[in-house]
């Protein structure tokens, strides 16, 4: 059967999405940037580096040739790390059909430009491209294991959102839709920053009281920035906001939480990065979020302290102490 669904990105999330599509009876192509790794996955049917223990069925074609991956594709899920999105989309552009829907499945804010993934895609692919974003609480390992999962497809194009909702919703995975692309993307990106803080709290040995306070106040500052950029607060109270925030702040599967926990225990950023092939998106997103908060005049004290911890060498305990020592305010502020 011809594959009308293509996943760009051979990391854990991209591999899990291709596996889910195959289980739903949809032949898919999985594009892996590294030819050697693509050949190994194609031969062994397992992505040993990023998603070990899960076998890809024969209906998933693995390739490192971008033109082959996109041939005839009507739905393209872009699951490369967000900082690789621009060059991958530029390379993909000549191979996209006029009816293709491009769905950004990575979470982040581009450093320098401060653009969200859908904005980057719009700039690279042109205004006529049908775009959507995939957000919500969804660890790759749990999707691959078949655990019940709810996600959100956000798009200004109702037809594109509906098509992706129907295509993704199968078995244990249920997709909802909304038209708040800004709020959905910012919720998905900024929760990674707060999750670093949740890890710091864990690494310092603090308990559930501290975690609950950090998550709640983290949601407040995410919502403030999202609203200032045109997003809706109700979106941040849903799967793309609160749902993803709780997941990423509380689970040991979270790369961002693991990063913060390591720093809270006194490990260095360099040692953490050397020990894992996975990307902690919160590291780069912190830079962009801190710049956006300053540009828009939005108070984001947790983000400011995570920025100081990651990029200014501030000790973790000092960062927490400064958060507690801030001027007392009303909760809504």
Work out whether the CA dihedral 204, 205, 210, 215 comes out positive or negative: positive
Helix, strand or coil for residue 100?
A: coil
Distance CA(104)–CA(231), nearest Å, equals 17
C-alpha to C-alpha distance for 78 and 13, rounded to whole angstroms: 10
Return d(Cα 66, Cα 106) in angstroms, integer.
Answer: 18
CA distance 320 to 310: 14
Rounded Cα gap, residues 290 and 219, in angstroms: 15
CA distance 180 to 223: 13
First and final C-alpha spacing in the chain? 56
Catalytic hit among 107, 127, 191, 314: 191
Provide the 10 A C-beta neighbour count for residue 48.
11
- Pull the structure tokens for residue 116: 């969200």
Rounded to 5°, angle at Cα 217 from 114 and 227? 45
Give how far the C-alpha of residue 284 lies from the chain's centroid of Cα atoms, to the nearest Å. Answer: 12
Left (φ > 0), alpha (ψ -120 to 50) or beta: where does 297 sit? left
191 is catalytic: yes
State both tokens at 49: 């580096």
DSSP E strand boundaries for 88-228 = 101-104, 130-135, 149-154, 173-178
Q: Which two tokens stand for residue 98?
A: 């006029």
Which of 233, 231, 206 lies closest to 219, judged by CA? 233
Helix (H) or strand (E) holding 5: strand 5-8
Annotated active-site positions, please? 191
């Amino acid at each position: 059967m011809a594959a009308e669904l293509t996943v760009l990105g051979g990391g854990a999330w991209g591999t899990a999405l291709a596996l889910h599509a195959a289980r739903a009876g949809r032949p898919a192509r999985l594009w892996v940037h590294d030819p050697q790794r693509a050949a190994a996955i194609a031969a062994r049917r397992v992505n040993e580096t990023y998603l070990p223990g899960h076998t890809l069925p024969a209906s998933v074609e693995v390739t490192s040739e971008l033109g082959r991956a996109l041939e005839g594709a009507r739905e393209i899920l872009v699951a490369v790390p967000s900082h690789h999105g621009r060059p991958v989309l530029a390379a993909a552009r000549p191979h996209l059909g006029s009816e293709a829907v491009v769905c950004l499945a990575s979470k982040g804010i581009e450093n320098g430009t401060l653009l969200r993934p859908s904005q980057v895609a719009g700039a690279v692919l042109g205004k006529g491209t049908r775009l959507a974003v995939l957000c919500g609480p969804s660890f790759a390992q749990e999707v691959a294991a078949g655990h019940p999962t709810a996600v959100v497809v956000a798009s200004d194009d109702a037809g594109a959102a509906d098509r992706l909702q129907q295509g993704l919703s199968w078995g244990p995975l249920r997709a909802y839709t909304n038209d708040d692309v800004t709020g959905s993307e910012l919720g998905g990106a900024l929760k990674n920053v707060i999750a670093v803080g949740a890890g710091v709290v864990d690494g310092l040995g603090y308990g559930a009281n501290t975690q609950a306070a950090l998550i709640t106040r983290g949601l407040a500052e995410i919502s403030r920035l999202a609203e200032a950029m045109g997003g809706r607060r109700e979106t941040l109270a849903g799967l793309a906001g609160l749902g993803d925030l709780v997941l990423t702040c509380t689970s040991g599967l979270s790369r961002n939480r693991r990063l913060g926990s390591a720093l809270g225990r006194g490990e260095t950023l360099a040692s953490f990065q050397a020990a894992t092939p996975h990307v902690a998106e919160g590291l780069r997103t912190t830079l962009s979020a801190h710049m956006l908060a300053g540009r828009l005049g939005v108070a984001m004290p947790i983000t400011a302290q995570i920025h100081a911890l990651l990029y200014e060498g501030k000790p973790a305990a000092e960062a927490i102490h400064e958060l507690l020592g801030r001027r007392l305010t009303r909760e809504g502020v």
